[in-house]
A and B are shown apart, each in its own frame.
Chain A
Amino acid sequence: MLATVRVHYNSSIYDKQNEEIMAPASDSSHGGLTGTQKADDLSRSFAMTTRLDTIVAWGRKNSLWPLPYGTACCGIELMSVMGPRYDLARFGAEVVRFSPRQSDLLLVAGTITEKMAPVLVRIYRQLLEPKFVISMGACASSGGFYRAYHVLQGCDKVIPVDVYVPGCPPTPEAVLDGVMLLQKMIADLKPRPWRDNWKAPQNVGGGADTGGEGLAI
């Protein structure tokens, strides 16, 4: 398992401490090797060093819990992504959660209409940090070929989107590619200004009708 992590051996403090601790035993058992090398070899067998944010990102990227916001045709294709042939489980993202409180990846799969927009914003706000959004398909990304009176022209009008997957609907391979792209973004700790600068649309998703956001969950 550890082999998949990018391990950094550049922590000078750790190396120095190891050198001091392991040096006395170096002569007899590891003939010919310097103290530093021996300490290094030994430490590799039971420990490793890394940056904290890197290992956290590694954990995050391999345990995305998607909330499948399937509204239309893309939702059917998303079933195939989860299904036996394409099997999203291979990417660590098989734990599908329908509660935003338990998931960190919002998979917007399908057309978002004007009527649905406030609901989508509310769901997005209910997701706990860190949260990521994949917009699956033409409709979710831009409204697609529905340049129409009741269709939101892309879900990025109301929520920040990290990865857009083109297609109508995208093939499951394309969705997997989108998930892998997101995993890479997470692993590389890529800055996400669209997410940091996002402001909730005025009056959208506040839920004034049901007495505030907390009530209607």
Chain B
Amino acid sequence: MSYLEPLKKDLSHRFKIEAYHFLHAFGEDIIVAPKEDIVPLLQFLRDNKYFDFLMDVCGVDYPNRQPRFDVVYHLFNSKNGRRLRIKVGVAEGDSLDSVMSVWRGADWFEREAYDMFGIVFRGHPNLRRILTHHQFVGHPLRKDYEADQQQHCTAALGIHFDNEPGSAGDVLDERFVPINIGPSHPAMHGTLRVMAELDGETIVRASCEIGYLHRCFEKMAETHPYNQVIPYTDRLNYCSAPMNNVGYCRTVERLLGLTIPPKAQAMRVILCELSRIIDHIVAVGTGGVDLGALTAFFHLFTYREKVYTLFEKLCGARLTVAMTRVGGMAQDAPDGWLDEVLSFCKEMRGEVDEISRLLLDNKIFIQRTRGVLPVKAADAIQWGYTGPLLRACGVGLDLRKTTPYYGYDQLDFDVPVGTHGDIYDRYLVRIEEMRQSIRIIEQVCKSVPSGDFTSRDRGVVLPSKKDVYGNIEGLMNHFMLVIKGLRPPPGEVYDATEAANGELGFYLISDGSANPYRLKVRPPCFAIYQSFPTVVKGGFIADAIATVASMNVIAGELDR
């Protein structure tokens, strides 16, 4: 149902809406606005409580169109789950105003649009490249940039601090000690890099450099058929790969107007919740390691291995499962698999209690985390926090409750919410979420519907091998689908699921061909991590390390 009509009326008092286009397609509301209006329009929508979150800002390239680029803003209302997409056209070489004054969290998203498309945002305090290296020439997501045209980087960038509005940029202050952590540093989880200036142990200013794992996911998606993108989604948040599969397939299915069978839905829920548990295992386990508590890591990894074994039984892979297909699942669960999941849940329940005692009741852990570098709820919303970090601040937003999918509304589970937004609350929320996920899995496992594990739509899903080798219709169907590819209708959708780290959104544009025209991922930790320099300012350097760990930044989805 469209909510555009009342909104249109309200907007007409303030803006010249003759120049606007109001569209409703695939169940989503879209406003096409002139670029001069973008800041007042977003300000109006935020101040009048239409929308409280700016989820994503991204660019789209249409080389044969004037103006060439679209800048797309995704808004979200956490109270009623409504979404709105605002699109503005920008010509090549032209610029538009930055919306950072309205939503602080637009910062990195705008930088990414600049890096990928060369769209200039006026008034952005630090419009530098973010994902590609500093010697990169050109803008890779433009359609005229070849996907495999590599440019070598010959030197690492020195310490720089121009992330902070109003600061003196790259000039180091000689009163303070500059420090560089990462990208190869155990506390930086592989590829993050943090630079800071210290006064004693206090951080005067900090800056993050990301992009060390920019693997060009979005460009790869544009050059691969729909089903072949699924293995790439595995490698976004590799700590909980099945969730990315589900998020992506759900987006394509919405574009196709396809509802998957109840059994496939149930299996996806089980996979998602198992992944949520193992994702939190990594977050809690490595978080403990960063604070010096190695025991929890070894304890928890035993149970992560058990989930790997379950995945392996289901599909043969441990980490990168690529278990879903557009239209359902790749195959059915083997006999007795659900019973094994149930017995795992029973074991895991005891383990969660033990870890809770080991970490949350631990005096040292409490002293290192409670009351440390808290984030207020209003700030978290400004930054675009979602998931456990937002809930730790006391905002009870969970897409499984706000906009339920796959029968989550039929399930009995609670959404844990923190109070202070400090590091301790983040772990408190994560550990409680593991308990809730166990509850969900147990409920679903006990009542998995019978029926098919995938849709049998001939234009979407390959026929079974029996048909391919057994009759001419099956053979032709298989041949046509492989040669022509799966072709959704032209159009665009944005779909979001509640991943372990927060809202994982996929913005998919189809031009009717066999490859996505554009696939933008809205990774939860991208929005969260951009707040890091502000959050740690004035804190101790050791607390900054604890903060990185508690944010659970996964480089795969951060840099894509």
Contacts and interface: CB of A to CB of B under 8 A. Distances in A.
Contacts of A207: 155-156
A73 B155 contact: no
B393 to A, nearest CB: 28
Interface string B182-222: 01111000110000000000000000000111111001100
A73 B214 contact: no
Given A150-B216, A168-B320, A208-B155, A71 B150 contact: no
B117 to A, nearest CB: 14
Nearest to A122: B156
Contacts of B132: 114-115, 149-150
Contacts of A98: 184-186
A71 B180 CA distance: 18
B37 to A, nearest CB: 34
A122 B150 CA distance: 21
Given A71-B190, A146-B215, A151-B216, A171 B231 contact: no
Contact of A70 (B136, B151, B153, B190): B190
Given A149-B147, A150-B215, A202 B154 contact: yes
Nearest to A168: B320
A216 B133 contact: no
A149 B150 contact: yes
A84 B296 CA distance: 12
B150 A80 contact: no
Interface string A75-100: 11101100111000000000000100
Interface in B146-200: 146-159, 180, 183-186, 190-191
Contacts of B214: 113, 115, 150
Contacts of A84: 298, 301-302, 305
Nearest to B150: A149
A71 B555 contact: yes
Interface of B is mostly: loop
A183 to B, nearest CB: 24
B291 to A, nearest CB: 16
B190 A148 contact: no
Interface in A169-217: 169, 171, 201-210, 216
A153 interface: yes
A94 to B, nearest CB: 12
Contact of A169 (B147, B231, B232, B319): B319
B140 interface: yes
B180 A216 contact: yes
A204 B305 CA distance: 39
A149 B140 contact: yes
Given A83-B298, A207-B156, A72 B213 contact: yes
B135 to A, nearest CB: 9
**Most chain A beta-carbon neighbours within 10 Å: one of B156, B183, B234:** B156
A25 interface: no
A157 to B, nearest CB: 9
Given A84-B302, A150-B131, A114 B555 contact: no
A22 interface: no
A111 B180 CA distance: 22
B140 A77 contact: no
A216 B214 CA distance: 23
A217 to B, nearest CB: 10
A206 B183 contact: no
A58 interface: no
B538 to A, nearest CB: 25
Contacts of A118: 153-156
A106 B549 CA distance: 24
A73 B133 CA distance: 21
A22 to B, nearest CB: 52
B152 A148 contact: no
B260 to A, nearest CB: 26
Contact of A149 (B191, B212, B216): B216
A85 B305 contact: yes
A172 to B, nearest CB: 8
Interface string A104-147: 00000011011111111011000000000000000100000111
Given A72-B235, A98-B185, A80 B308 contact: yes
Given A76-B282, A84-B298, A204 B154 contact: yes
A129 to B, nearest CB: 20
B239 interface: yes
Nearest to B182: A119
Nearest to B214: A150
B318 interface: yes
A150 B150 contact: yes
A117 B186 CA distance: 18
Contacts of A148: 147-148, 150, 215-216, 219-220
A147 B153 contact: no
Nearest to B141: A149
A13 B463 CA distance: 77
A164 interface: no
Contacts of A210: 156, 158-159, 180
Interface string B216-242: 100110000000000110110011000
Contacts of A110: 190, 213
Contact of B215 (A80, A151, A206): A151
B328 interface: no
B20 interface: no
B479 interface: no
A205 B154 CA distance: 7
A65 interface: no
Contacts of B232: 145
Given A119-B212, A153-B150, 12 more contacts: A72-B238, A83-B302, A84-B301, A146-B215, A149-B146, A149-B149, A149-B150, A150-B132, A168-B320, A207-B156, A209-B155, A210-B159
Interface of A: 69-73, 75-77, 79-80, 83-85, 98, 110-111, 113-120, 122-123, 139, 145-153, 168-169, 171, 201-210, 216
9 contacts: A72-B555, A77-B318, A111-B213, A114-B133, A116-B213, A117-B153, A118-B156, A119-B183, A150-B133
Name the 3 nearest CB pairs between A and B, nearest first. A148-B216, A73-B238, A209-B158
